[in-house]
Amino acid sequence: MKEETKLNESTGYWRGVWTEYKRDKLSVLAMFLIFSLFLVAVFDDLLAGKKPIIMKYQNNIYSPAVFNHKKLIGMDFSDQDEIKDISSFVIFPPVKYSATENDLFSVLSPPDKNHYFGTDDRGRDVLSRMIHGTKISLSIGFVAVGIAFIIGITLGGIAGYYGGRTDFVISRLFEIMITFPVFFLILTILAFRDPSIYNIMIVLGATGWTGIARLIRGDFLKIRNYDYITAQRALGANDIRIMFVHILPNALAPVLVAATFGIAGAILTESALSFLGFGVPPPTPSWGDVLSQSKKYIDFAWWLVIFPGLAIFLTVTSFNLVGEGFRNALDPKLRGR
Amino acid sequence: MKSYIVKRLLLAIPTLLGITIITFGIIQLAPGNPVERNQQLEQGIQSEQITKEIIEQTKKLYGLDKPIHIQYWIWLKRIATFDFGDSYKDHRPVIDKIKERLPITLTLNIISIFLVYIIAVPIGIMSAIKDRSLLDRITTFLLFGLYSIPSFWLAMMLIYFLGGGEHWDIFPIYGIQSANAESFSFFKKLTDFLWHITLPVICLTYADFASLSRYQKGSLLEVLRENYVRTARAKGLSEKTVILKHVLRNSVIPIITIVSAILPAMIGGSVIIESIFSIPGIGQLGFEAILSRDYPLIMAITTITAFLTLIGILIADIAYVLVDPRITFEGRN
């Protein structure tokens, strides 16, 4: 019984937020869109690729799109008719093209019944590249913001909790990071270190934490003087426990909103980096990479501009709308209007 | 008041030092030291004699034979006198190259910031007064949409549709003046310049409308809840007078400081926009410097733009205190 009450209390706040959030239909739609993108990112190999999802070959069932079956090593999946011939039963992904293999016979072909979104200058299927690019773009957004989140919470928390001289030093660090031309800094670092996907995540995370740190610092400064914190200290809890177990949960909500906006920003920055040639190294597909190819063929290859541009636009808008929806839902002044 | 300004300026000193430390640190990230890099670059085109000369020159420039903190100290002393060394590319003093390019970028950014404020503040005020109305919702959604468009994508679209591709040929897409601009009268030169920067300025501004108008809206809504507004209403003033005389002015004040959020982003955006529109500003120079690994130039641009941004933030902070006597230094920290 006691356990149950506790559970209700802890979900109460978030349930209220959710009820409030649901009132904004646009934000709910945006959340649905992000969820679908997640599915695309997770199941990208089933949606686009040359390898069949399921095939029956010599009375055994294989799934080459998901697993690297030992029996099938050495099998050439490039000719799909041949695969059809040798297997008694086969299902291919809806988009039957690889994201990375060049096909010089269908270079820059406009959308048709084979290539739904057309092909790029190496004959690669744009839709397939975009499906696989979803994984890259989303993971860059999430991991970069995750790194920023950890740095921001640590620095902001320490500054706000200890105050005084510690706060002074860390606040100067905020100011330095704010004054720096961050995009230029990112470009410089990526020019010196090779622009692998991990370096991009690290650089975006290491430069994007100031907003989160500021919010956390403000809340910690306020909450550390509350009575329940004094009580914890009297009970003998150490600083780390007070900071992360007792203060952080009460300061988390606005930070999560900031993080949502941060993901949108990171996806935009990644696309800009790709556009300038500092993005994920080829042939790895990302939305920005597909878009950057359109530079050369903008006169006629509209499909290289419209589709990836729309994907970036819709994703970034969705993340922003979700962030906005939660911000409104969290603001008690706006409740019940 | 005076003590606030003095304190604020003193606080900028550690920030400034931090900027130089990070800039210096980034160059240490470069694979191989700058001398080796430079040697590799020069090999093949230069004779051995000159290569040696360059190595000696560069070594002296950075004091690379010394421990790292001494190297930093030497570099710091040199940049204190604005001596950033010579560019690797054409061996001209870096500071001269920056001096040529900086006014263009500053002009573009100041015009852009001005436009952002002129357009976004009224929108914010409107959506605060008509909070949660259909009009408010539509503008919020539209501004969020604008905010989500990648700037380089919009730039390409504008070039494609308005820059004389297949469609209209309305705006020039290259540089900041026509080829024969020297012969123009002053007025024609000005219109020629404005005509050239229209598309780049659009690309630099549109994304900031969303955040600034939201800040303005939030600020106005906050002022509306103040007690003196209730008093103003209670004594029978019309809603128009309350808004125009009492709410509006106070709500605009905090918006001044938002410039510190817009300015660095805009300078970052200049890298992309100036490269696309071939504008000979600091952004394009910086991008070229990164591509050619021109270390002295990269370090100088990072330091100087960070320094200028810091000045922008300081001006905004001080202006904030000057217009709003209620703010004290202690109150702000």
Are the beta carbons of B150 and A272 separated by less than 8 Å?
yes
What local confidence, expressed as pLDDT, does residue A246 receive?
Answer: 87
Residue A215 and residue A155 in contact, taking contact as beta carbons nearer than 8 Å: no
- Number of CB pairs, chain A paired with chain B, less than 8 A apart: 139
What local confidence, expressed as pLDDT, does residue A34 receive?
Answer: 93
Residue A21: what residue type? Y
**Paired strand residues for A56:** A61, A89
Q: Is the ipTM of this complex over 0.95?
A: no
Question: At residue B300, what are phi and psi to the nearest 5 degrees?
Answer: -65, -45
What local confidence, expressed as pLDDT, does residue B333 receive?
Answer: 42
Look-up of token digits 């931090």: B18
Residue A273 and residue A186 in contact, taking contact as beta carbons nearer than 8 Å: yes
Closest residue on chain A to B294 (Cα): A188
Closest residue on chain A to B265 (Cα): A181
Are the beta carbons of A180 and B151 separated by less than 8 Å?
no
pTM: 0.84
Are the beta carbons of A192 and B156 separated by less than 8 Å?
no
Question: At residue B290, what are phi and psi to the nearest 5 degrees?
Answer: -65, -45
Confidence class of residue B39 from pLDDT cuts 50, 70 and 90? low
Encode burial over A60-88: b for 16+ CB neighbours within 10 A, e otherwise.
eebbbbeeeeeebeeeebeeeeebeeebe
What local confidence, expressed as pLDDT, does residue A296 receive?
Answer: 79
H-helix or E-strand containing A61?
strand A60-62
Question: At residue A109, what are phi and psi to the nearest 5 degrees?
Answer: -90, 140
Residue A37 CB neighbours (<10 A): 19
Closest residue on chain A to B308 (Cα): A179
What local confidence, expressed as pLDDT, does residue A155 receive?
Answer: 93
Are the beta carbons of A305 and B157 separated by less than 8 Å?
yes
3-state secondary structure A113-143: CCCCCCECCCCCEHHHHHHHHHHHHHHHHHH
Confidence class of residue B316 from pLDDT cuts 50, 70 and 90? confident
Work out whether the CA dihedral A111, A114, A117, A120 comes out positive or negative. Answer: negative
Encode burial over B149-183: b for 16+ CB neighbours within 10 A, e otherwise.
bbbbbbbbbbbbebbeeeeeeebbbeebbbeeeee
A173 interfacial to chain B (CB closer than 8 Å): yes
Are the beta carbons of A176 and B15 separated by less than 8 Å?
yes
List pLDDT tens digits, range B47-97: 556 666 666 666 666 566 677 788 888 888 888 888 888 887 788 888 888
Strands A54-57 and A60-62: antiparallel
Residue A260 and residue A110 in contact, taking contact as beta carbons nearer than 8 Å: no
For residue A283, is the peptide bond before it cis, meaning its omega torsion is within 30 degrees of 0? yes
List pLDDT tens digits, range B100-116: 898 999 899 999 999 99
What local confidence, expressed as pLDDT, does residue A140 receive?
Answer: 92
C-alpha pair distances (Å), A88 with each of A54, A59, A75, A206: 11, 8, 16, 52
List the 45-104 stretch of B: residues with Cβ below 8 A of A. none
Q: How far is B177 from chain A (nearest CA, A)?
A: 23
Mean pLDDT of B217-224: 88
Q: Which one has a higher pLDDT value, A158 or B327?
A: A158
Are the beta carbons of A271 and B309 separated by less than 8 Å?
no
Confidence class of residue B37 from pLDDT cuts 50, 70 and 90? low
Closest residue on chain B to A322 (Cα): B144
B31 interfacial to chain A (CB closer than 8 Å): yes
A227 interfacial to chain B (CB closer than 8 Å): no
Mean pLDDT of B10-35: 79
The percent of residues in chain B predicted with pLDDT above 70, rounded, is: 86
Question: At residue A92, what are phi and psi to the nearest 5 degrees?
Answer: -95, 160
List pLDDT tens digits, range B256-281: 878 877 887 788 888 899 988 889 99
List pLDDT tens digits, range B98-155: 998 989 998 999 999 999 999 999 999 998 888 878 888 888 888 888 888 888 888 8
3-state secondary structure B187-235: HHHHHHHHHHHHHHHHHHHCCHHHHHHHHHHHHHHHHHCCHHHHHHHHC
DSSP tag of A72 = G
Residue B41 CB neighbours (<10 A): 17
A317 interfacial to chain B (CB closer than 8 Å): yes
List the 303-322 stretch of B: residues with Cβ below 8 A of A. 305-307, 309-310, 313
Helix (H/G/I), strand (E/B), else coil: B314 = helix
Residue B147 CB neighbours (<10 A): 21
What local confidence, expressed as pLDDT, does residue B115 receive?
Answer: 93
List the 148-207 stretch of B: residues with Cβ below 8 A of A. 148-153, 156-157, 159-160, 165-166
A215 interfacial to chain B (CB closer than 8 Å): no
Confidence class of residue B158 from pLDDT cuts 50, 70 and 90? confident
List pLDDT tens digits, range A25-47: 888 999 999 999 999 988 888 88
pLDDT < 50 regions, chain A: 1-3, 336-337
DSSP tag of B294 = -
The percent of residues in chain B predicted with pLDDT above 90, rounded, is: 10
List the 185-214 stretch of A: residues with Cβ below 8 A of B. 185, 187-189, 191-193
Question: At residue A61, what are phi and psi to the nearest 5 degrees?
Answer: -100, 130
Q: Half-sphere exposure of A218 toward its Cβ, with a 13 Å CA cutoff?
A: 11
- Cα gap B228→B242, rounded to integer Å: 10
